[in-house]
Amino acid sequence: MTKHLMSDPAEHKASVEASKAWDWLKKVQKRTLDEWLKIGRGFTTGRSWAMRLSASNQPMGRGYNEKFSEWLNAYELADIDQADRSNLFKLMDRPEIIAWRNNLPDDKRNALNHPTTILRAYARTATAREQSKEGLAKRTSTELAAALQRIHELEMELEQAKAYIEELEAARR
């Protein structure tokens, strides 16, 4: 099945579990987040391994790409769509998104079981939250501008009333 590429038993185990999960997803055609997370843990292990062996500080560059590709092929994960792979890395790097998904009602949570759909749904809610905040900020600044205008009007009225009172007092003397 898979070539034993990793010298660290824990790294090898995570990579084998990722391979098994991907094999299961291809055969069963039922996407579950648990299986995707196993693959994601394998990917983060493979990324760390490739960075370490290529002496890379970031997951990029020729040396890293060669080692990561070697890892993907060794654990039979190279046929995972590149967009799915990228989205899975994003999901693994942002555990708060998984926590957000896990706190959704059952019907919504069960519909979100693929990295791409999870990220899209999260982006929609994040965008909605931002738009809500922007809307609140616009309303608040509009209300503030109106309040400042009203304060200015009242100050003008007060000045006029003071001037009128002075006129009346002067006429009385």
Asked if residue 32 is part of any domain, the answer here is yes
Asked if residue 147 is part of any domain, the answer here is no
Asked if residue 31 is part of any domain, the answer here is yes
Using a pLDDT cut of 90, give the percent of the chain over it.
Answer: 46
- Report pLDDT digits (tens) over 27-52: 886 678 899 999 999 999 999 999 99
Q: What is the pLDDT of residue 134?
A: 67
- Give the mean pLDDT of 84-92: 94
Query: What rounded mean pLDDT belongs to the chain?
Result: 87
SS (H, E, C) the chain: CCCCCCCCHHHHHHHHHHHHHHHHHHHHCCCCHHHHHHHHHHHHHHHHHHHHHHCCCCCCCHHHHHHHHHHHHHCCCCCCCHHHHHHHHHHHHCHHHHHHHHCCCHHHHHHCCCHHHHHHHHHHHHHHHHHHHHHHHHHHHHHHHHHHHHHHHHHHHHHHHHHHHHHHHHHHC
Record the tokens describing residue 169, joined without a space: 């007092």
Is the whole-model pTM more than 0.85? no
Asked if residue 30 is part of any domain, the answer here is yes
Q: What is the pLDDT of residue 1?
A: 46
Asked if residue 156 is part of any domain, the answer here is no
Q: What is the pLDDT of residue 141?
A: 74
Asked if residue 162 is part of any domain, the answer here is no
CA angle 57, 83, 108 (to 5 degrees): 110
Residues spanned by the domain of 72? 9-131
Record the tokens describing residue 115, joined without a space: 């990295």
Q: Cα separation of 135 and 116, whole Å?
A: 28
Number of domains forming the structure of the chain: 1
Asked if residue 22 is part of any domain, the answer here is yes
- 51 neighbors 107 (Cβ within 8 angstroms): no
Asked if residue 114 is part of any domain, the answer here is yes
- Report pLDDT digits (tens) over 132-148: 566 666 667 777 777 88
- 88 neighbors 40 (Cβ within 8 angstroms): yes
